[in-house]
Structure 1
């Protein structure tokens, strides 16, 4: 009998301060995190529980690049 082992990459959660960047996250997820204490996921993939003032840090270059590449949704007519 053959048994395969599937490995799952571990998701690292931290306090969001190790790289000292502000990250792009959906606004409703920030509010949800503030209420529930759940972690948020930035455009760049970083996952953490926000606790610092994002105004104090530069914007994450990866988040900015992804955000700048997003197109605005067309207006409904």
Structure 2
């Protein structure tokens, strides 16, 4: 429930699966501009570590791209990331 994930690697599916899930969620739930900035997002742990070392941006399950740097515990979990993650866990 943070930028670093839940402790397990996110596996399965490809970007096409995530893109379809994101499109489906966007159609079901209106996200206002700037909403991504108010949430912590799910990103594979190895990508967080790579970003910390390289300074390159990461891509969350919901599609948000940014360079992590804030304390994810201070923000609620992104509802789109959470929904996509839960769907991936159940498959």
Query: What does residue 70 of structure 2 align with?
Result: 52
Q: Where does structure 1 differ by over 4 angstroms across 4 or more consecutive aligned residues?
A: none
Structure 1 or 2: larger helix share? 2
C-alpha distance in 2 between matches for 1:26 and 1:18:
17
- Choose from 56, 80, 83 the match for 1:38: 56
1:71 Cα deviation after fit: 3.0
Distance 1:28 1:72, change over 3 A: farther
Alignment TM-score, normalising by the size of structure 2 = 0.58
C-alpha distance in 2 between matches for 1:29 and 1:72:
23
What do you get for the CA RMSD once the two structures are aligned? Answer: 2.0
- Choose from 8, 13, 23 the match for 2:41: 23
C-alpha distance in 2 between matches for 1:44 and 1:35:
23
Alignment TM-score, normalising by the size of structure 1 = 0.68
